[in-house]
Amino acid sequence: MGFEFPALLIILAVLSGLSIYSLRIDPARINRTASRQNVYLCLLALLLTLLVLEFATRLFVIQSDNFGFTVSARRWEEKYWNPINAQGYRDREWSESSRHSFIAVGDSFAAGAGVKSIEHRFSGVLETLLGGSWHAITLAKPGWHTGDQIEALREFPREVDFVVLSYVINDILGAAEEIGELPTYELSFRPQYFSWFVAKSAFINYLYYRSFRLFKARLSNSYWDHVVSLFSNPEVMEIQKRQLRELYQTAKSKSPQVVALVFPDLRSLTSSAAITRKIGAIYSELGAEVIDLSPLLSSRSADELTVNSLDSHPSEAVHSFAAQLIADKVAARHAQDSSAE
């Protein structure tokens, strides 16, 4: 982010300081300009305070959020959204020399949004749990829906030991877009009249988005209501089922074992349960091994489940929990295959 706003504060502070100095060096004008001098002093104090707050916010407030609207979220991405491999994914370069490998497919949840290191997202933790001969391949980007995941998996050039299909409830938005079922609200709620200051100043941006948290809660509810309504739309659900079938079949072409990891909305576990059961049933009927996280996370608090108060992506604890569940599925499949030989 540029430094136009701090530069503006510095220029104004310098001008105020020069104005005060020009008044003080002329003894004949001191009495006549005392009130003006006080105004300049107050302005200078205000500008210097804003300058300190601006630099403090830029240096110390680095925090992810759901949609990346805030300056602090963009700074978080600049600092932590790495490495980026040759294929454009947040992942290491893919190795072909490892004895075993697996693919994790998904959106921002699988990519590790809000998680500072790829080692701490579920694919990274799973790689560690399985041991040194394993290599994780993560095909995931924020904003992806099921159709994007199908294309990415189809383009992957080789077979692997197993595939994890990460499903998040808002993945259905891609199916809705096919028939023009789009939300009618603006997610960013950016200001109309002072957008330059909100965009350029880290401190004002911080105050603005936190001042609108009540509005954001209402907007989040509107977003959630829209997503939930899509699961009751027969036309949208038919498209989603078709997409999930195609994604599963593509995964099966890469590996004999397919695990479907179904995430609830981590701020709405109770209202997510019926939806995750529905998606789990679809995947189970197709032949995937399903992990529905809704009932498994029900005893945990929202603060434990999510990255932070502004970011409802999974916490590192949830990623670790999911990785262990997948590892158990892989171990059970391996034991089953060994006993059958």
How confident is residue 92, by pLDDT bands cut at 50, 70 and 90?
very high
Higher pLDDT, 206 or 264: 264
Taking the CA atoms of residue 98, residue 104, residue 105 and residue 109 in that order, the dihedral angle to the nearest 10 degrees is -140
| pLDDT the model gives residue 41 | 72
Per residue in 31-45, pLDDT (tens digit) is 555 566 677 677 767
Mean pLDDT, all residues of the chain: 86
* Least confident among 193-202, 213-222, 268-277, 280-289: 213-222
- Inter-helix orientation angle 34-60/71-80, to 10°: 40
Q: What is the pLDDT of residues 119-135, one digit of tens each?
A: 999 999 999 999 989 99
pLDDT at 305 over 90: yes
| Helical pair 316-340 and 122-130, crossing angle rounded to 10 deg | 40
What SS3 class is residue 136?
A: strand
Amino acid 78: pLDDT: 93
For residue 284, what pLDDT is reported? 98
pLDDT at 175 over 90: yes
What is the mean pLDDT of the segment spanning 253-280? 96
The pLDDT of residue 189 is: 61
Strand residue runs (E) in the chain:
100-106, 134-140, 162-168, 257-263, 289-292, 306-308, 311-314
- Is the per-residue pLDDT at 333 higher than 70? yes
Q: What is the pLDDT of residue 45?
A: 76
Fold annotation for 92-188+212-340: Rossmann fold (3.40.50)
pLDDT at 319: 98
Going by C-alpha positions, the residue among 68, 56, 55, 1 that lies closest to residue 307 is: 68
CA distance 160 to 92: 17
Residue 172 has pLDDT above 60, yes or no: yes
Q: With H, G, I as helix, E, B as strand and everything else as coil, classify residue 238.
A: helix
Reported as a pLDDT band with limits 50, 70 and 90, residue 259 is very high
Residue 164 has what DSSP assignment? E
Q: What is the pLDDT of residue 222?
A: 76
Give burial (CB, 10 Å; 0-12/13-18/19+) of 77.
middle
Higher pLDDT, 216 or 309: 309
Domains of the chain: which residue ranges?
Answer: 4-60, 92-188+212-340
Q: Tell me: pLDDT of 185 over 60.
A: no
As a whole number, mean pLDDT of residues 35-62 equals 76
Q: How far is CA 308 from the centre of its chain?
A: 11
